[in-house]
Amino acid sequence: MTRKTRRTDIAPKLINPWRKTNPFSLRPIDRSYLIPKMYKLQVSLFIVFLAIGLSYQSYVSVATAKRYAQARKFFAQGCSGLTADLLGKKWKAAEKYTQSTYIGANGSYSNVSPGAIVGFPGHVAVYIGEAGCKFVDVPGPNRNTRCLSSYGAQKVYKYNY
């Protein structure tokens, strides 16, 4: 007796070239090939957001600010020129900031660390926090840096660049 063989037993196994891309296929699509690409995308996005986070700066060198005040360094752009120089940015880039927390008025300032960029609408300065020199600022365009012990009754805020 001869054994009947089925056509499928002797037929070569066919490879479906549409397996990964055919949206009309009834079989589940194997998407395991996407995992390395998705991982690369996640790592790339993490690096971009990390770079943005690190570029966010709100503290500068206290020593440099004090040196500018002692030397009475001249700034044509005024207080924003001082801030740009201390941040190491171009002057126009230093005009983009956000107002953060209220730190005080009348010589009483809290929740602020030396080197913080502070100010009020239309003016920025650097908080030093020493008795004779709480702030280093430039009073206006084409002026020299100076030390101040207080801004009087003016409400002062911390700024983020």
For residue 76, tell me if it sits in a domain: yes
Q: List, for residues 135-158, the tens digit of each pLDDT value.
A: 999 998 999 999 998 888 888 888
Expressed as residue numbers, the domain containing 103 is 62-160
Q: Measured between alpha carbons, how far is 79 from 63 in angstroms, rounded to an integer?
A: 17
For residue 6, tell me if it sits in a domain: no
pTM over 0.85: no
Q: List, for residues 51-108, the tens digit of each pLDDT value.
A: 554 445 567 888 898 999 999 999 988 888 888 888 887 776 666 666 778 888 888 8
For residue 23, tell me if it sits in a domain: no
For residue 39, tell me if it sits in a domain: no
For residue 92, tell me if it sits in a domain: yes
For residue 69, tell me if it sits in a domain: yes
Q: How many domains does the chain have?
A: 1
Residue 15 pLDDT > 50, yes or no? yes
User: What pLDDT was estimated at residue 147?
Assistant: 92
For residue 47, tell me if it sits in a domain: no
Residue 27 pLDDT > 80, yes or no? no
For residue 107, tell me if it sits in a domain: yes
Higher pLDDT, 98 or 111: 111
